[in-house]
Amino acid sequence: MKIYHSLEEYRQEYDRGTADGAHFSAVTLGKFDGVHIGHTKLISHVTDLSRKEKLTGIVFAIDMQERSILSRSERREYLESLGIDILIECPFSREFMSMSADAFAADVLRGTLHARNVTVGPDYTFGYRRGGDAGMLSVLGRKYGYHTDILEKARILGADVSSTRVRQAVMIGDMRLTSLLLGRPYPVSGTVAHGRHIGTGIGYPTVNVMPGTEKLLPPDGVYASVTHLPGGMVRRGITNIGVRPTVGGHTRRAETTLFDFSGDIYGADIRTDLIAFIRPERTFPDLEALKAQIAGDILKAEDILRRDS
């Protein structure tokens, strides 16, 4: 999958020599901040079309200035696994905000992306002050030479799936609902960093990841988790999201105790899937009390993960 960070970068690096119409695409449009099951439905439609019609499959994602359900690297990795050819991460700039719906269809969809098909959900809006909707996108397609497919929204537990609903589930720590809405567990990814080795000292060594400020995280606490390590290795564990107040921590991180694992993976990129909330983070009077609590957390996590397997 090729990634572009703006329309201008796409025009400069990819679109040269295609003004004669030699290159055509199937495009889906949206924010795609969580790539939930509704987004996956749109993307699957695009990848199917691109194979059948010999088109380039493009996800055109508007990047908003807010914490995302997935980090950029997590979104890129997942979109690539879905078979998309190109991801365009378009900043929500002042210039983009002021573009009319007609100009977007003419200049972006036709002029730059050479769209032959555009796939969106029924609530899609675009253009200046969101002046265009899915119906207008379809009307403009007849003017500018692309066909529009408007797919029904995915539904879970009697309600529409949306990024707002995913965010609400993450923010209250409901990892089971989050997984249903995403169609997969909620990930926390990053590079394993050195900590203070306090966990090692009390018999529970951990791997530490700093998720970064761009990613939305669930409430601080302990979660049953499954971690994907280098070489395809997968280990169950418990993950603490928080600052570790008992040992005087101040920086928010994901600290995971892996079951049945020993090894040096500092500097490795890993992904930890949060499966279920166990308890909130709290301060313990001493390390012995913390150690006893970790032992109890492990028993609860093992039970949860055994029932989920």
Percent above pLDDT 70 for the chain: 91
Helix, strand or coil, per DSSP, at residue 153: coil
Assign 3-state DSSP to the chain and report helix, strand, coil percentages, each to 5: 35, 30, 35
Number of C-alpha atoms within 13 angstroms, CB side, residue 25? 28
pLDDT at 245: 62
**Lowest mean pLDDT: which of 26-35, 87-96, 231-240, 293-302?**
87-96
pLDDT at 12: 82
Percent above pLDDT 90 for the chain: 66
Per-residue pLDDT, averaged over 183-207, amounts to 76
Better pLDDT: 307 or 66: 307
**Lowest mean pLDDT: which of 93-97, 166-170, 283-287?**
93-97
Per-residue pLDDT, averaged over 86-104, amounts to 87
pLDDT at 209: 93
**Lowest mean pLDDT: which of 95-99, 109-113, 122-126, 223-227?**
95-99
| Listed residue (33, 45, 52, 273) closest to 175, CA to CA | 273
At 248-297, the pLDDT tens digits run 555 788 999 999 887 778 899 999 999 999 999 888 878 888 888 899 99
Residue 268 to residue 193: CA distance in whole angstroms? 9
| Listed residue (110, 276, 103, 41) closest to 178, CA to CA | 276
pLDDT at 21: 44
**Domains, in order of start, for the chain:** 2-154 (3.40.50.620), 185-308 (2.40.30.30)
Q: What mean pLDDT value characterizes the chain?
A: 89
- Here the tokens at position 206 are 């951990």
Q: List the strands of the sheet with 56-63, edge to edge.
A: 2-4, 86-91, 56-63, 25-30, 115-120, 147-150
pTM, to two decimals: 0.89
At 113-133, the pLDDT tens digits run 999 999 999 999 998 888 899
Residue 279 to residue 296: CA distance in whole angstroms? 11
- Here the tokens at position 256 are 């995971």
